[in-house]
Amino acid sequence: MNPPTLRIATRKSALALWQAEHVAALLRAAHPGLLVELVPMTTRGDEILDQPLATIGGKGLFLKELEVAMLEGRADLAVHSLKDVPAQLEPGFVLPAILPRADAADAFVSNHYADLAALPHGARVGTSSLRRQAQLRALRPDLVLLDLRGNVGTRLGKLDAGDYYAIVLACAGLERLGLAARIRGRLAAPDWLPAPGQAAIAIEAREGQASVLALLAALDDADTRLTITAERAMNQALGGSCTVPVGAWCVLGEHGLYLRGMVGDAASGRLLHAEGSSTSDQAEALGQHVAATLLAQGADELLGR
């Protein structure tokens, strides 16, 4: 028997609410008559904006309160940007559905400069991501990279106020909010790697809730799950979190999976790359293989092990 109302825990940012509403609409379409409501919440990751995520506990701070709401029975599921979901979930939680992935590229956003190469020497660029900082420093070691936290609107507002010459955001987030016109250029694979799982929306639920899991399974995209599995397996094998600059990009073609991975150093701009291919039934093994190749190149040093 279906629950009378399916309750979605979500952060309160405009992007998080868009994603939760999107999932709610898909659920209503897949299960006519199902009632779905949002339970907006504020997480510690949303509240602490004056420190980099890497120093206050990582992206898992965006999940904790939503998971507590599910454990306490105040919500049945949570909707996340998959790149914010740690490689290892808390015990008792699963990801029963991953939606089709949108544009995984990063966006170069600037009001006065067409692309990264056009920025003047010493230009101030805002991003809170160590992965983005490492790749920026590799390309333009002269840039002054400054931390940038807050939701998409807050970040764009700081750019518009003149705090930065440019900022780097995710293309998918801007597109979902109707802000695609702000994208001056795409920083895209294979030369520039996104975060593992970037541009995919994940649905988290409690293990063992059979009726809820059955409803959510209808939304799962098998192809996206395959590529995400490889990226997250690589990240997990590296012990990746937002305290380490790790990039991953996996695609599914007619001959199987191709994965390119990166570990970087945000201070020096040193980047290590590795790649591999496999059949589609070996996604996890592919991720582990690419991670092992990166470790063999010396990624341990960059990972602080």
pLDDT tens profile 220-267: 999 999 999 999 999 999 986 656 799 999 999 999 999 999 999 999
Amino acid 88: pLDDT: 87
Which H helix or E strand runs over 29? helix 14-30
Whether the pLDDT of residue 147 is over 80: the answer is yes
Residues forming beta bridges with residue 272, ordered by sequence position? 263
Which H helix or E strand runs over 294? helix 283-296
Return mean pLDDT, the chain: 92
Whether the pLDDT of residue 57 is over 50: the answer is no
Amino acid 87: pLDDT: 85
Whether the pLDDT of residue 63 is over 50: the answer is yes
Amino acid 304: pLDDT: 74
pTM of the model: 0.90
Q: Is the peptide bond before 190 cis (omega within 30 degrees of 0)?
A: yes
pLDDT cut 70: percent of the chain above it: 91
Whether the pLDDT of residue 51 is over 80: the answer is no
Mean pLDDT value of segment 75-82: 96
Place of tokens 């991720």: 287
pLDDT single digits (tens) 158-199: 999 999 999 999 999 999 999 999 999 999 999 999 999 999
**Distance between CA atoms of residues 210 and 214, nearest Å:** 6
Tell me the two tokens of residue 203.
Answer: 């649905």
Whether the pLDDT of residue 16 is over 80: the answer is yes
Q: Given 46, 76, 84, 103, which residue is catalytic?
A: 84
pLDDT band at 56 (very low <50, low <70, confident <90, very high): very low
Mean pLDDT value of segment 90-104: 96
**Distance between CA atoms of residues 131 and 152, nearest Å:** 18
Amino acid 243: pLDDT: 67
pLDDT band at 79 (very low <50, low <70, confident <90, very high): very high
Sheet holding 271-278, edge to edge: 246-253, 256-264, 271-278
Tell me the two tokens of residue 14.
Answer: 């405009």
84 is catalytic: yes
Contact call for residues 266 and 130 (beta carbons, < 8 A): yes
